[in-house]
Amino acid sequence: MIRRALLSAAAAGLLAASSLAQAADTIKVGVLHSLSGTMAISETTLKDTVLMMIDEQNKKGGLLGKKLEAVVVDPASNWPLFAEKARELLAKNKVDVVFGCWTSVSRKSVLPVFEELNGLLFYPVQYEGEESSKNVFYTGAAPNQQAIPAVDYLMKDLKVKRWVLAGTDYVYPRTTNKILEAYLKSKGVKAEDIMINYTPFGQSDWQSIVSDIKKFGSAGKKTAVVSTINGDANVPFYKELGNQKISAEDIPVVAFSVGEEELAGIDTKPLQGHLAAWNYFQSIKSPANKVAIDNWHKFIKNDKRTFNDPMEATYIGFNLWVKAVEKAKTTDVSKVSDAIIGLETPNLTGGVAKVLPNHHITKPVYIGEIKDDGQFDIVWKTKAEVPGDAWSDFLPGSKDLVADWVTLKCGNYNTKTKKCSGQNF
């Protein structure tokens, strides 16, 4: 009996050792996106994008001689749950990197976890700026790569004089609108010509809000809506615009969170001419974009599935991470974070994304006009890639701050006090 017990224990030990060895033979990639709840309409596709990138990399032979293994969790559009799932990925699953989050409230929720456990997060969505963490690389747009250029376009090209800043009630819209309000006032726009409105996630009744927008736009001055509405609330918002016969000629809407995925499956005819500001559109013609879209359709086995801006940001972030791991010859977070600064990778629009010392990247900016098929006509673009700025030049508490993880080793160095007031190495 003793001998049998010893043999059983030995077998269990061998099995455990075999499992550990097998785990060590893979590089684990965490995927932290909502697959249910109000944000699933936007985030599920990003989960699929990471899975596609992992599949493609494994077909190339993996990374450092190892296969990549996806570890997918569902934080379910629940912001505290994002933190729990992030801890699960880092502490329990021992992932080497995480691609995830959409809303800024979810990113803010997981940030302390990544900093505590020294995890590595690639965040692929436009956001409000006002942040630079040594544990995060921001491959989506900062305000100077989306919001500010969009307002400049409306002001200069469409001669907009009155502004509706409409957003979902959380960090990204509130901070972005705070920046935009300050920017508009610096351009001479009066307070009475700025209307600000916030609605909860999942807002479904837009009748009175759209009526208020319509009334605000009837004062004899050209009016536009700058929309930071997120998730599935966009569907009834745009439907109500159509119901109340608000055309792009009357009151154009420029959205920062509506792309091809959100427009898929809804009637876009009433929305023709309304706008979106992104760093990528599926309709852009380039050899790299064609290849990426073809690969996506093959992987997802559905030629009708769209490709959008946060997907491109995920694609860019994944490729930059692979290059950094190859350069560092390890998945060690600190070494990869050092190696990635200054690396470049092609974007899908014919340019190059470069990682900056502030953990942001360079991106082009495009304004697209909605077509009746849910795609976009490009009506404006920047001449070159714009470097992402972590801190706004238009907020009193931010204009003196810079982020530099190479020379200053700081995410919020005050150029006047010569001090780093936050996290540093």
- All structural domains of the chain: 26-142+288-362 (3.40.50.2300), 144-283+367-387 (3.40.50.2300)
**In whole angstroms, how far apart are CA 72 and each of 24, 32, 46, 95, 100?**
18, 7, 11, 11, 10
pLDDT in tens, 22-66: 446 899 999 999 999 999 989 999 999 999 999 999 999 999 999
**Token pair in block for residue 125:** 């969505």
Q: What whole-number percentage of the chain has pLDDT above 70?
A: 93
- Specify the pLDDT at position 375: 92
Residue 158 pLDDT exceeds 70: yes
Q: Contact at 8 Å (CB) between 224 and 254? A: yes
Judge if pTM exceeds 0.85: yes
According to DSSP, the residues that pair with 80 across neighbouring strands are none
DSSP per position, 97-137: EEEE--SHHHHHHHHHHHHHHT--EEE-S--------TTEE
Sign of CA dihedral 134, 176, 262, 149: negative
335's tokens: 């070494």
Beta strand 223-228 with 275-278: parallel, antiparallel or unpaired?
Answer: unpaired
3-state secondary structure of 146: coil
Residue 167: partners with Cβ closer than 8 Å, 6 or more residues away: 173, 174, 176, 177, 197, 198, 199, 227, 228, 229, 230
Retrieve residue 90's tokens.
């880092």
Q: What single letter denotes the amino acid at residue 261? A: E
pLDDT band at 257 (very low <50, low <70, confident <90, very high): confident
- For 3, counting Cβ atoms within 10 Å of its Cβ (0-12 exposed, 13-18 middle, 19+ buried), the class is exposed
**Does position 92 have pLDDT exceeding 70, yes or no?**
yes
* Average pLDDT over every residue of 130-156: 97
Q: What is the pLDDT of residue 234?
A: 87
CA 341 to chain centre: 19
